[in-house]
Amino acid sequence: MAEKCIPVDLFNPGQVFACLGFLEAADVLLGDAAGGFDWSGTDARFVLRADGDENPFGAVLAFLAEATVESVAPHGSVLSTQKWNVPTSVSAPGEPFPFPEPNSPATLPALLRTPSGKSILVDHWGDRTQRDNVKFWAGAGGYPGAALFRDGLALCLPLPPQTADDPFRVPAIQSSSFRLDWRRDYIPLDVGFSPNAHGDIEMRGYPIVELMAAIGLTHARPKRFNKLQYGYGVLQGARCDLYEPILHRVALGQTALPLQRRMFRFDLGWPGKEDQARCILDVHEEPTP
């Protein structure tokens, strides 16, 4: 098995979600993945271990570099993301679909697929169960999640050779995103102006965080208190004590576990009209019960 670690800011929800994305993807691509957040040193790090001799972070990034993106519609559906130049495949008759047919192509799942046949489905934004879908970008009938994922991939490719050592610090000029990494977002009323109104201001985001966070939210969600407040938890893990994905999924939702953990809460605001897009404003740590 191979084991590596990367820096992570525990006060950045997107980076925490993205760590779970690396864990989930490594489990699919390599097998037997386990991970943990190690804050024993000066800076927190996320430790990831998986089958094989390859750096698991590098293996996941190599998958992204090869992957194409398509949306998936349920059998018999006429929904399509072709309008946004994202191909749509239709499920076979009787094939399970992750949620009831949506009202708009915006929330069709995104399927990442490589020529070798490896694939990962990203679908949290269409979830209509009792779990919150953590869809912070605007418009039920607007820009599709599959197109946002495709755009994010284009922004971070080709990947610099050292990306696997510190993937969350790779910036790109980014006009739209899943709004999961708060380093890019702003509230115009708070900053006093809108950068969108100035042609010489370019907003920089962190597409690898956004992409991996979207994957991380496929099986795990932060705890929702209301539309503008969420909480999440992280599990302590050192090299000799790492945990499989299911325990990290439970911990992210702040469910009690007999393991060492830390708890955080974050506040959101409306960058535009109320009840449309949301962006993360502030993050603080809470006492752990």
DSSP string, 13-29: HHHHHHHHHHHHHHHHH
Q: What is the pLDDT of residue 272?
A: 81
Q: What is the pLDDT of residue 261?
A: 93
Query: How does pLDDT run across 188-203, given as a tens digit for each residue?
Result: 555 554 555 556 566 6
Burial (CB count <10 Å: 0-12, 13-18, 19+), residue 205: buried
- Residues 9-16, mean pLDDT to the nearest whole number: 97
Q: What is the pLDDT of residue 275?
A: 86
Cα first-last separation, the chain = 34
Which comes out higher in pLDDT, residue 111 or 274? 111
Indicate if the pLDDT at residue 133 is higher than 70: yes
In angstroms, what CA-CA distances link 214 with 62, 76, 233? 17, 27, 17
Query: How does pLDDT run across 211-241, given as a tens digit for each residue?
Result: 999 999 999 999 999 999 999 999 987 666 8
Q: What is the pLDDT of residue 160?
A: 86
Q: Are 13 and 182 in contact (CB under 8 A)?
A: yes
Nearest to 137 by CA among 41, 242, 277: 277
